[in-house]
């Protein structure tokens, strides 16, 4: 195991106490524990704060700082943990399609994902797609529907890319497209810099938070708090109306300590 990675501290952070065999069952259990314990959140880019994706900074923030993070932080942390346990894991990158029309051009590589190779084949692991968090790794096999506890997913292959889609009440929605070209840290530095500083990037304009827990998906999009059941069915929804209410949701539901006063986050909505 990699001595520089604090595996015990990470496991304590996600509340994982089971076996650490590098197999499918352990991978799925770690994945589920991670997305429950460490919320996806884009507070730093929304507040125009620098996002550091070196592993030491990620560990300090997500493991020790009662914070979450976005894909480059979340999947960097998960990759380090998997490697420390003994999994064969490769970092990949994806082009986000969540808000794109089907005919629109491809976007830059602004999302980090992981390929995990097991005895029974390769899996897509991703604990950092904040528009629709995966609750479990998916088989890296195209053209099959893959039901999970929180939804149904499907990979297709076209134009040299894998395309991941989720089945929602209104039909299939494409999440992102990726290939199997391994990425290095410098690739992620560039993608993260763009995602956290470009004025028209989602995370510089919109506060996005998400957490999965058992059979519930919790989302915060700016002031709007939503609770969903499996497949995207909305079961509760409300607008937060004050900075204190927003801070309460972030603390109690997402388990995140704000890096600034709640009033500063609230004022940012007026200028985003």
Residues annotated as catalytic are: 71, 111, 126
Tell me how far apart the alpha carbons of residues 29 and 15 are, in angstroms, rounded to a whole number.
Answer: 11
Tokens encoding 74: 């979340």
Q: Give the 3-state secondary structure percentages of the chain, helix then strand then coil, rounded to 5.
A: 35, 30, 40
3-state SS string for 54-121: CHHHHHHHHHCCCCCECHHHHHHHHHHHHHHHCCEEEEEEEEECCCCCCCCCCCCEEEEEEEEEECCE
Closest CA to 7 of 116, 64, 85: 85
């Amino acid at each position: 195991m990699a001595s520089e990675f604090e595996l015990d501290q990470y496991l304590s952070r996600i509340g994982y106490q089971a076996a650490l065999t590098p197999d499918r069952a352990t991978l799925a259990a770690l994945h589920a524990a991670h997305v429950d314990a460490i919320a996806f959140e884009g507070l730093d880019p929304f507040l125009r704060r620098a996002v550091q994706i070196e592993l030491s900074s990620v560990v300090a923030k997500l493991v020790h700082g009662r914070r979450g993070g976005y894909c480059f932080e979340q999947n960097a942390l998960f990759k380090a943990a998997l490697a420390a346990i003994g999994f064969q894991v490769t970092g990949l990158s994806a082009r986000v399609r969540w808000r794109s029309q089907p005919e629109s051009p491809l976007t830059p590589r602004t999302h980090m994902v992981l390929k995990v190779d097991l005895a029974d084949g390769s899996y897509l692991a991703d604990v950092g797609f904040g528009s629709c968090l995966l609750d479990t790794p998916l088989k890296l096999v195209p053209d099959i529907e893959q039901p999970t506890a929180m939804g149904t997913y499907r990979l297709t292959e076209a134009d040299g890319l894998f395309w991941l889609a989720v089945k929602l009440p209104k039909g299939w929605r494409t999440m992102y497209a990726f290939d199997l070209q391994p990425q290095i840290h410098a690739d992620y530095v560039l993608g993260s810099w763009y995602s956290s500083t470009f004025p028209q990037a989602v995370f510089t304009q919109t506060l996005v938070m998400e957490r999965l827990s058992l059979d519930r998906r919790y989302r915060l999009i700016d002031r709007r708090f939503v609770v969903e059941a499996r497949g995207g069915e909305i079961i509760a929804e409300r607008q937060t109306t004050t900075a204190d209410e927003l801070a309460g949701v972030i603390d109690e539901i997402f388990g995140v300590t704000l890096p600034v006063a709640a009033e500063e986050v609230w004022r940012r909505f007026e200028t985003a």
